[in-house]
């Protein structure tokens, strides 16, 4: 036998404490009665009550509490085999970690906010497997497809600019790496979420998006940041705020390219979303994903213990019913004369 909630068994310590309280209550009641009247008068006043019956009722109450606690701890014995199926989609999340993601038009900056929203996104997945791709001027698979969302978050936490040596933003490489993350042989139930500021420096993004569509991959693009352009903060080495400058010494601005991201999404049957300071849009993507048809990607036989809490619960209820039926009054052998004997 085992207990599903063994931590609740410590409540059994209340049973002896409750028993001690009952004993103290009986002792105090008796002491007070002896103060109230002489022994002969006291015997006449309490002639109709039975101390053994009162003790018996207390024992029934203690037994009911004992078995109620056992029921709460959920005793289990015996087992049965069950087939557990895991259903969901395969979702690859590609995150831009280029230097431009440090722009602060979305607080605290584009990358930190993206990581926060991705974590919320993954926590709300309904059994889907998730993979993580990091990209800048190149791309690599940060976390393979997994339903272990805690492990996914560990890989997500370490994303930062500089993780990839190649500068710039190559959306084509991000999509290529994302496509490779899906298991071979599947032609549907595949979703890619591409989060970027949209400044593509590769030039092959639309071609790769068309290849993704042929492989059954639906891409949802999330454009992060301003379309008007904002500076990119950098560390000047002395701890002071500075901004990235070009070779001529002019401040470099990063701006979102929504048209390219919209074209990529349309080419695969997906949609484009614009993440802004007041609304990030990633949870809108989640609604689309949760509405899609799911597939069974894993099934296994597991052994489940049978709950037997019904037995101690029934005993506890029976004891409480019996306690209510038992009277603490003595049975009289003859009719009452109307006066104390």
CA count, 13 A, side-chain hemisphere, 138: 8
248: buried, middle or exposed (CB in 10 Å: 19+, 13-18, 0-12)? Answer: exposed
Residue pair 197/222 in contact by the 8 Å Cβ criterion? no
DSSP 104-145: -SSSS-HHHHHHHHHHHHHHT-SS-EEEEEEESSSEEEEEEE
Give, in order, the Cα–Cα distances in Å from 286 to each of 41, 266, 306.
81, 18, 36
Residue 91's beta-bridge partner residues? 130, 191
CA distance linking residue 277 with residue 299, whole number of Å: 42
Q: Under DSSP, is residue 47 helix (H, G, I), strand (E, B) or coil?
A: coil
pLDDT attached to residue 69: 94
| 148-161 CB burial, b ≥16 within 10 A, e <16 | ebeebbebbeebeb
| Per-domain boundaries in the chain | 2-74+309-325, 85-298
- Residue 293: count other Cβ atoms within 10 Å of its Cβ: 8
Q: Under DSSP, is residue 88 helix (H, G, I), strand (E, B) or coil?
A: strand
Topology at the third CATH level for domain 85-298: Rossmann fold (3.40.50)
Q: Could you read off the pLDDT tens digit of each residue along the chain, which spans 341 residues?
A: 888 889 999 999 999 999 999 889 888 877 776 776 666 666 665 665 677 788 888 899 999 999 999 999 999 887 776 655 667 889 999 999 988 888 888 889 999 999 999 999 999 988 889 999 999 999 999 999 998 999 999 999 999 988 898 888 899 999 999 999 998 877 778 999 999 986 776 779 999 999 999 999 999 999 998 888 787 777 766 666 777 776 677 777 777 889 999 999 999 999 999 998 878 889 899 999 888 877 766 655 556 788 889 999 999 999 999 988 888 676 655 554 555 44
Q: What is the pLDDT of residues 120-147, one digit of tens each?
A: 999 998 888 999 999 999 999 999 999 8
pLDDT attached to residue 340: 44
Work out the end-to-end distance of the chain between its first and last CA atoms, rounded to an integer number of angstroms.
57
Q: Is the bond preceding 337 in cis, omega lying within 30 degrees of 0? A: no
Q: Which of 4, 7, 8 is nearest to 66 (CA)?
A: 8
Q: Which of 145, 115, 148, 141 is nearest to 130 (CA)?
A: 145
CA distance linking residue 80 with residue 90, whole number of Å: 31
CA distance linking residue 177 with residue 190, whole number of Å: 14
């Amino acid at each position: 036998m085992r207990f599903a909630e063994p931590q609740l068994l410590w409540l059994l310590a209340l049973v002896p404490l409750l028993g001690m309280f009952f004993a103290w209550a009986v002792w105090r009641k008796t002491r007070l009665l002896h103060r109230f009247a002489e022994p002969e008068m006291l015997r006449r006043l309490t002639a109709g009550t039975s101390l053994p019956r009162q003790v018996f009722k207390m024992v029934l109450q203690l037994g009911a509490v004992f078995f109620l606690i056992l029921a709460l701890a959920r005793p289990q014995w015996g087992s049965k085999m069950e087939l557990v199926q895991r259903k969901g989609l395969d979702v690859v999340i590609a995150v831009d970690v280029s230097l431009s993601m440090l722009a602060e038009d979305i607080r605290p900056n584009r990358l930190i906010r993206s990581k926060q929203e991705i974590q919320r996104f993954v926590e709300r997945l309904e059994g889907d497997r998730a993979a993580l791709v990091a990209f800048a001027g190149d791309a690599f698979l940060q976390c393979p497809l997994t339903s272990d969302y805690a492990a996914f978050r560990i890989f997500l936490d370490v994303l930062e600019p500089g993780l990839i040596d190649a500068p710039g933003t190559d959306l084509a490489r991000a999509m290529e790496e994302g496509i490779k993350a899906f298991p071979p042989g599947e032609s549907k139930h595949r979703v890619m979420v591409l989060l970027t500021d949209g400044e593509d420096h590769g030039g092959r993004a639309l071609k790769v998006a068309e290849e993704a569509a042929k492989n059954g991959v639906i891409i949802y693009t999330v454009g992060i940041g301003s379309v008007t352009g904002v500076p990119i903060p950098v560390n000047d080495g002395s701890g002071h705020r500075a901004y990235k400058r070009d070779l001529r010494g002019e401040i470099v601005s990063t701006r979102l390219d929504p048209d390219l991201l919209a074209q990529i999404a349309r080419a695969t049957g997906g949609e484009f979303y614009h993440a802004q300071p007041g609304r990030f849009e990633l949870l809108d993507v989640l609604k689309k994903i949760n509405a899609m048809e799911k597939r069974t990607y894993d099934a296994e036989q597991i052994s489940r213990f049978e709950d037997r809490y019904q037995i101690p619960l029934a005993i506890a209820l029976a004891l409480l019913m019996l306690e209510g039926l038992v009277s603490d009054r003595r049975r009289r052998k003859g009719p009452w004369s109307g006066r104390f004997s």
